[in-house]
Amino acid sequence: MKNKTFRFSSLDVVDDMEEAMTADYENIGKICFVSCWTDLVQESVEMWRTYTGSNNGVRIGLPREFFKSESDEQNILSLAKRIGDENDVYLSPPYLPDLIPVTYTQDDYLINLPVSKVINEVCKKCGSSTSNFSLDTRYLGRFKRDYWSGQSEWRYKLTAIPQEYYRNNEEGKYLKGKPADMVELMKSDLVQMSFDNDYIDFPFNINALHDMEILLSPLNSEEDSAKVMHIIEQYASSIEFEVKPSKMKIRK
């Protein structure tokens, strides 16, 4: 409410420890950052207990496209650059968060997809060699084992590469040896690089707050719920929110 942002966490720190892993490139799924939501309308005891630690909390409901506005189309590149510079990363197209449903499966291939592709070629005429390396990030963050299906999860997704990787490239680090060796160095560097933060805070369209619904946790005390109202009054006093009490009765 204060910063008008939502936090995207790297797949390397989400609760499902398999999510960052791939079949051919270790935990490179860490370059995928997600903000996790659910399409469940009915309250869930498991969700309240898991994500509030059996303590106080709220459930927030918003329209699906709350990261987009008319001005985004004009300013998206400058927004992506600002967020990238703040976190020392480069955001990959489409720059705005992409909303995807999670598919639940027991297919091991989908759980640990291959994502890297290396093509080594030798010119038949001159004998010179070339090597090309690419990453397919389209399906990162899309699949989870079906025992997570109770979350009925949708997530907003960003892909971010450390700027250090591009700085190395600009400085010619990957041009000082045989092409195949340099590709292996690129792959090794990328998987070993760390981020300044394991999250990215992305601004949302504040007009979406007019359609925001806040559901108070059944585990809230009266003081907890009063704090919620205080936050609303402090940071969004001009907007009318729909604040609802929980219909559940849970013993702590």
Predicted local distance difference test score (pLDDT) of residue 19? 96
How are beta strands 98-101 and 153-162 bridged, if at all?
Answer: antiparallel
Tokens of 152: 């009925």
Helix boundaries (H) for 88-217:
108-111, 163-170, 179-192
DSSP 90: E
Q: How far apart are CA 157 and CA 14, in angstroms?
A: 13
Q: What pLDDT shows up at residue 70?
A: 53
Contact between residue 62 and residue 1 where contact means Cβ atoms under 8 Å apart: no
pLDDT at 198: 95
pLDDT at 165: 94
5 token code pair = 């942002």
For residue 71, the model assigns a pLDDT of 58
What's residue 154's pLDDT? 97
What is the spatial distance between Cα 230 and Cα 236, in angstroms, rounded to a whole number?
10
Which residue numbers in the chain have pLDDT < 50?
none
pLDDT for position 22: 96
pLDDT of residue 65: 87
pLDDT for 73 equals 60
Q: What pLDDT score was predicted for residue 180? A: 86
What does the pLDDT read at residue 74? 63
